[in-house]
Structure 1
Amino acid sequence: MSDPNIPENLKYTNEHEWARVEGNKVTVGITFHAQSTLGDVVYVELPKVGTTIDQGEPFGTVESVKAVSELFSPVSGKVVKVNEELTSAPETLNTDPYGDGWIVEIELSDTSQLSELLDAAAYAKLLKEA
């Protein structure tokens, strides 16, 4: 049985980001597990459109009532879109982490990196082992 909090159609990182791949564009957000661990999100620091980011490197931060956590990019590429709504409504990361709570869209520079990401089953296993 699949976990409703781990959508099958996404890829995942060990740092609890998700990636939705559509052609050469990758939409990135944080997982249900990440937002529930963080607690109430109060601020999101977003990169600027046009910023080039590398796989595994920080590209922003999420601040909650409990902690500040860095966001790590699942892929390398150029930021082509940021979710400006999060500036005024950061709690969207809590209420809809896989939908309106997306953070950035990246134009992928190296498709081979996708194979390094976890599928839903591997991510579920990671959570069980944590």
Structure 2
Amino acid sequence: MVVESNCEIPENLFYYIDGKNTVWAKQESPDTILVGITDIAQTMAGKVVKVRIKKKGTKVEKGKPVATMESGKWAGPVPAPVSGEVVDVNGEVEKSPVLVNRDPYGNGWLVRMKITNPEEIKQLYTGAQAVQKLKELVAAEKISCKRL
């Protein structure tokens, strides 16, 4: 785990980084991933007050919304890191959206997806490359992470 400006960056995850939109993916099996937003993303959003997650069975293209979130200062999509099908949703986050802020890499996960194109996982950032890219975002946005 790398910590940059109080932001946790687990090195064992895959990251979809598109501008300020940062999503993590944890590979659970060759064709299944768990998806959530990064510590950096939850800090930039502020206190999350609403989460809408796509229903089980929904097919999502890479980069298209797998969920939407609202906070006091932001509302927007959470992009799918790879193309696939939503096979499980975290209903706890829909009931208590602040879980995303309190535990973005644990209880704040959003969806479990079945990957339709395994090649796409190789296109995500991981390890030192991910850490470097996320450190650059932290510096550019002058972010200091905090949990609620």
* Unmatched 5+ stretches in structure 1: none
* Alpha carbons 1:13, 1:118 under 8 Å: kept: yes
* Alpha carbons 1:40, 1:64 under 8 Å: kept: yes
* Alpha carbons 2:11, 2:130 under 8 Å: kept: no
Q: Which residue is equivalent to 2:118?
A: 111
2:5 matches 1:2: no
* Superimposed CA distance per residue, residues 17-59 of structure 1 (whole angstroms, 9 cap, x where no aligned partner): 0000011111000000000111100000110000001111122
How many residues are aligned here?
Answer: 130
- SS at structure 2 position matched to 1:97: coil
Normalising by structure 2, what TM-score?
0.83
Query: Identity, % of aligned pairs?
Result: 40
* Alpha carbons 1:6, 1:120 under 8 Å: kept: no
2:67 matches 1:73: no
Distance (whole Å) between structure 1 residues aligned to residue 45 and residue 104 of structure 2: 12
**Greater strand proportion:** 2
- The alignment yields a C-alpha RMSD, in angstroms, of 1.4
Aligned partner of 2:27: which letter? V
* Alpha carbons 1:13, 1:117 under 8 Å: kept: yes
* Alpha carbons 1:49, 1:81 under 8 Å: kept: yes
* Unmatched 5+ stretches in structure 2: 138-148
* Superimposed CA distance per residue, residues 66-118 of structure 1 (whole angstroms, 9 cap, x where no aligned partner): 11021100011110000001121000000000000000000111111111000
Distance (whole Å) between structure 2 residues aligned to residue 120 and residue 95 of structure 1: 23
Q: Which residue is equivalent to 2:141?
A: none
Q: Which residue is equivalent to 1:19?
A: 25
Q: Which residue is equivalent to 1:29?
A: 36
* Alpha carbons 1:45, 1:60 under 8 Å: kept: yes
Aligned partner of 1:13: which letter? Y
Distance (whole Å) between structure 2 residues aligned to residue 124 and residue 93 of structure 1: 20
